[in-house]
Amino acid sequence: ARPIRLTDYRAPDFVIPETRLAFDLHPTQTQVKATYRIERRGAADAPLVLLGERLILKTLRLDGVEVAPEAYALTPECLTLSGVPDRFTLEIDVEINPQDNKMLEGLYMSSGRYCTQCEAEGFRKIVYFPDRPDVLSKYTVRLRAPKAGFPRLLSNGNLIDSGEEGTFHYAVWEDPFPKPAYLFALVAGELDVLEDRFVTMSGRTVDLKIFVDPGMSARAAYAMDALKRSMRWDEETYGREYDLHLFMIVAVRDFNFGAMENKGLNIFNASLLLADAQTATDLDYERIESVVAHEYFHNWSGNRVTCRDWFQLCLKEGLTVFRDQSFSGDQRGHAVQRIKDVKMLRARQFPEDAGPLAHPVRPAAYLKIDNFYTATIYEKGAEIVGMLKTVVGAETYRRALDHYFETHDGTAATLEDFLSSFEAVTGQDFSPWLKWYVQAGTPVLSLSATYDGDTQRLTLTVSQMTPPTPAQAHKAPVPIPVRLGLLSGAGAPLSFRFAGETVPEALFVLTEARAQWVLEDVTEAPVISALRGFSAPVKLTLTEPEAHRFARFRGDPDPFNRWEAAQSLAKALILDPHGAAADYAEALRATLTDPTLDAAFKALMTGLPTEMDLAQSLTPVDPAFIHTRRKAFKAELAAALKTDAEALYAALPAETTFSPDAASAGRRALRNALLDLIVAAPDSDADRSEATSDQAGAQAVRRPEGEAPLERDAAKPLSAKQKIAKAHYHDARNMTDMMAGLSALSQIHGAAYQDALEDFYARFKSEPLVLDKWFAVQAACPHPETLSRVRRLITHPDFDRKVPNRWRAVAQAFAANNPAIFHDASGEGYAFIAEEILSVDRFNPMTAARLIEAFGGFKRYAEPHRGLMQAVLERILGTEGLSKNVAELAGKALA
Ligand code: HT7
Ligand code: ZN
């Protein structure tokens, strides 16, 4: 297949100011009638090319006259009409089959309801259209369906007409805002609704409606609350007001992604919308809040100002992620939010940037744009916006964004347009920032310092280097903002003089490959605290004594760098086969007992780098070494902190009433982090002797039919930590604590774990979202038995590959969250995931392709992993009938 290239962009030859669609909804034979008012904008002889896939063309009329088959050309991907006038009306009738559509793009059925997903290229699976984001049209949509079974008929904009036709009924929707086809949506079916209202800053009342499965409307209350907070926040922070009289959200079970910002009719994966204490964890609440905000914020960053072409995807996604991260920071605390965002960036985007799937935030070419909804486009794109805000300051940033929204409202814009708004309000040249968008790879920022006690001068020598990435051997320097402060040897903040002022911290921007920064009045040889708040998405190298990192761990006033110091120390100690935990335990004890720190921050400080984090710092990667070393270090740390952790845990009793607010969630996070530490400690001698003499307390193992026995664990009595984890699980009054208990039991494994799994299944077997967690926790269990367990899980009657949430709960959880077992030296984990990718690729290529990422970094791994992963990728690529999506990513991974 031929790649689509940014350099091939040409403005459309035709525009379609008006689109009328009429849907006669039927599970297997939906009739779609489109009427377009079309105007020529390009060359007089340019043909009209409309894109369409999997459509049955019924009739085609131009200005009311049927077009004869010889007057148009039809291929499986487009419909071309030559010799058309400069202005005309085109009517097209097609038939589609929503029930058979398991790709979940275009019009499909989920739990007996009709719904759509058009971004990026799904509209062409509904009807022939110039399906590209720079063709904006005003839509009027008529939906018709049987009254029975489809009482709700929803589309974008405002309802302007409705009525009955015998056993059928219809609704007509009009969206006054011209939009690209990817923002079109319809939903039809039986749905309950939760309603509310919002009065905008100019006094307009907006009706808010969240549609959910019958009986579930109470679970939409948190999403509704998050929506209202998002609407107010966007007014207060960006001056952006909602523009229709109605805003609707619909939750569906079958969805390839998280959610979709269709104009006035957002469609959500139910897992990111429905929550109550009994079924959702704090992490679910946090995600719901951020995704509701994200999709709402798209109303301006994406919908009112859209993208000229899909190469500009990060124009809407990077900006909107930055906006939702800022919102979450305002709601939940900026320090904790920043740490979580950086953890995510490092876990997902840094490996992408370091491997064969690396691509610029604005890619130059693609085969399937669906493959580019990546951490690079989203998260690195957000980091660039954050850096721009850091360098211009909050007020100027707001002026630049006002300029951007006002200048490009109602148009399809580019990244150059975005940067020119910064130029317009500052009068400065922002073209160097374009390099961040066009260059892949994570820059390495190196810093070294020399201190002259006589002159009290600190000279910092900084340099940057971005490693080569596929198709980009040489890189130019990028602007790197570096927030920097100093600490004394005792760990106290140390001010200094820079640019004529005495300051506690300064912002430097490295624009060249190398520079020197001189800090005056530095009264002692300092500890350097660089890149505070993670002011740029780079890898910092700074050669310094371990004591400096401990000083930052104990007292950096910048919470991000405090956490960062702890993480980098833990990484070094874990990867050193002789690394000991004693000093680290001391510093962590001081953190945990510091009354000035909040619980959510302490919870983050308690967490060690993940095995995936550690894999990024070791070449070649040896997954078994990482697993064993991390476990040993954690056990040593847990043993050193046993008394403190147990006392702190006991002092934080489980709350009897649940509130999802950030402070309560922080307390739960800390209690659950302590539990995780407690169960990591080796059993004490006392525990062991009690366990052997306490045979009467042994738990009987009930095994589900067909399950292999839990080998040696079966007859063992519970250890002290198993008892704690078991009590944590059984006493839990909310899903957060319950999952923490279950996950702690999964770490220990054994009979209590199996019992808890059975109990969990019995309680939640009719709750699909909770059952996804049950599948995921088992797939992520780091016990060797998981290799056979995942194979059993896919034969479970509740397993269904056609439901992406359920499939990801097994396949993704195993491949992404269980490195020790996925990378088992037998290669069985790789084989399992390869089979799953190929099975799902037959009907849902977009979802299947996402899992190729699991093999992306194979060249960095030690043998036998490297060879085994390569063989699996080759097998995938050699499979007949492979989708373009999987072929593109598997091909790149192998290149
Ligand atoms: N803009 C939305 C992207 C999206 C999507 C992309 C490809 C295939 C399916 C999809 N569903 C939603 C989501 C967002 O970033 O807001
Ligand atoms: Zn988005």
CATH number at residue 131: 2.60.40.1730
What single DSSP character describes residue 526? P
**CA–CA separation, 807 vs 799, rounded Å?**
7
Does the residue 291 lie in any domain?
A: no
Ligand 1 center to residue 201 CA distance, Å?
Answer: 29
Boundary (domain end) residue, out of 268, 288, 320: 268
Ligand 1 pocket residues where CB is under 6 Å: 117, 119-120, 256-257, 259-261, 294-295, 298, 317, 370, 373, 846
**CA–CA separation, 299 vs 305, rounded Å?**
8
CB neighbour burial string for 613-641, b if at least 16 within 10 angstroms, e if fewer: bbbbebeebbbeebbebbbebbebbbbbb
- Give, for 94, the enclosing helix (H) or strand (E): strand 87-96
Task: Name the residue with tokens 């086809």.
Answer: 181
* Closest C-alpha residue for ligand 1 atom 14: 260
Question: Are 259 and 202 members of one domain?
Answer: yes
Atom of ligand 1 nearest to the CA of 302: 1
Question: Are 94 and 44 members of one domain?
Answer: yes
- CATH number assigned to the domain comprising residue 830: 1.25.50.10
- Give, for 736, the enclosing helix (H) or strand (E): helix 735-748
- CATH number assigned to the domain comprising residue 432: 1.10.390.10
Residue 519, token pair as written in the block: 């800090």
- If one counts the domains in the chain, the total is 4
To test the ligand 1 pocket, which listed residue (108, 117, 118, 119) has its Cβ within 8 A of the most ligand atoms?
Answer: 119
Mean pLDDT by 10 residues, the chain (895 residues): 95 98 99 99 98 98 96 98 98 98 98 98 98 98 98 98 98 98 99 99 98 98 99 99 98 98 98 98 98 99 99 99 99 98 98 97 97 98 99 98 98 98 98 98 98 98 98 97 96 96 98 98 98 98 97 98 98 98 98 97 98 97 98 98 97 92 98 98 71 36 40 66 96 97 96 97 98 98 98 98 98 98 98 98 98 97 98 98 98 97
| ipTM, two decimals | 0.98
**Domain residue limits at 851:** 765-895
The CB density around residue 749, as the number of other CB atoms within 10 Å, is: 19
Contact call for residues 487 and 526 (beta carbons, < 8 A) = yes
Question: Are 136 and 214 members of one domain?
Answer: no
Question: Are 89 and 217 members of one domain?
Answer: no
The CB density around residue 593, as the number of other CB atoms within 10 Å, is: 12
Q: Which residues pair with 621 in a beta bridge?
A: 861
Atom of ligand 1 nearest to the CA of 321: 15
Atom of ligand 1 nearest to the CA of 378: 15
- Residue 653: what pLDDT? 87
First to last CA, the chain: 17
Does the residue 382 lie in any domain?
A: yes
With a CB cutoff of 8 Å and minimum separation 6, the contacts of 618 are 575, 625, 626
Angle value at C-alpha 192, between 189 and 193, nearest 5 degrees: 115
Ligand 2 center to residue 230 CA distance, Å?
Answer: 15
Q: β-strands 137-146, 14-24: how paired? A: parallel
Task: Name the residue with tokens 């509209």.
Answer: 123
SS3 13: coil
> Residues lining ligand 2 (ion), CB within 5 A?
317, 320
Contact call for residues 265 and 154 (beta carbons, < 8 A) = yes
To test the ligand 1 pocket, which listed residue (260, 299, 301) has its Cβ within 8 A of the most ligand atoms?
Answer: 260
To test the ligand 1 pocket, which listed residue (108, 250, 257) has its Cβ within 8 A of the most ligand atoms?
Answer: 257
Question: Are 126 and 179 members of one domain?
Answer: yes
- Residue 689: what pLDDT? 55
- Residue 712: what pLDDT? 43
Does the residue 579 lie in any domain?
A: no
Ligand 1 center to residue 247 CA distance, Å?
Answer: 18
Question: Are 340 and 428 members of one domain?
Answer: yes
Question: Are 195 and 82 members of one domain?
Answer: no
Does the residue 537 lie in any domain?
A: no
Q: Which ligand is nearest to the CA of 315?
A: 2
Does the residue 30 lie in any domain?
A: yes
Task: Name the residue with tokens 């097209």.
Answer: 92
The predicted model scores a pTM of: 0.97
Q: Which ligand is nearest to the CA of 322?
A: 2
Does the residue 789 lie in any domain?
A: yes
Of the candidates 533, 572, 517, the residue with the CA atom closest to the CA atom of residue 549: 572
Question: Are 208 and 239 members of one domain?
Answer: yes
* Closest C-alpha residue for ligand 1 atom 12: 260
Question: Are 200 and 167 members of one domain?
Answer: no
Question: Are 180 and 240 members of one domain?
Answer: no
- Residue 715: what pLDDT? 56
Does the residue 289 lie in any domain?
A: no
- Residue 693: what pLDDT? 38
Ligand 2 center to residue 19 CA distance, Å?
Answer: 25
Query: Which residues have a catalytic role annotated?
Result: 295
- CATH number assigned to the domain comprising residue 204: 3.30.2010.30
Does the residue 454 lie in any domain?
A: no
Of the candidates 217, 462, 311, 460, the residue with the CA atom closest to the CA atom of residue 9: 311
* Closest C-alpha residue for ligand 1 atom 13: 260
* Chain Cα centroid distance, residue 814: 17
Question: Are 106 and 159 members of one domain?
Answer: yes
Boundary (domain end) residue, out of 408, 438, 468: 438
Ligand 1 center to residue 794 CA distance, Å?
Answer: 27
Atom of ligand 1 nearest to the CA of 291: 16
- Residue 482: what pLDDT? 98
Boundary (domain end) residue, out of 144, 162, 188: 188
Question: Are 244 and 157 members of one domain?
Answer: no
* Amino acid residing at 209: K
- Residue 426: what pLDDT? 98
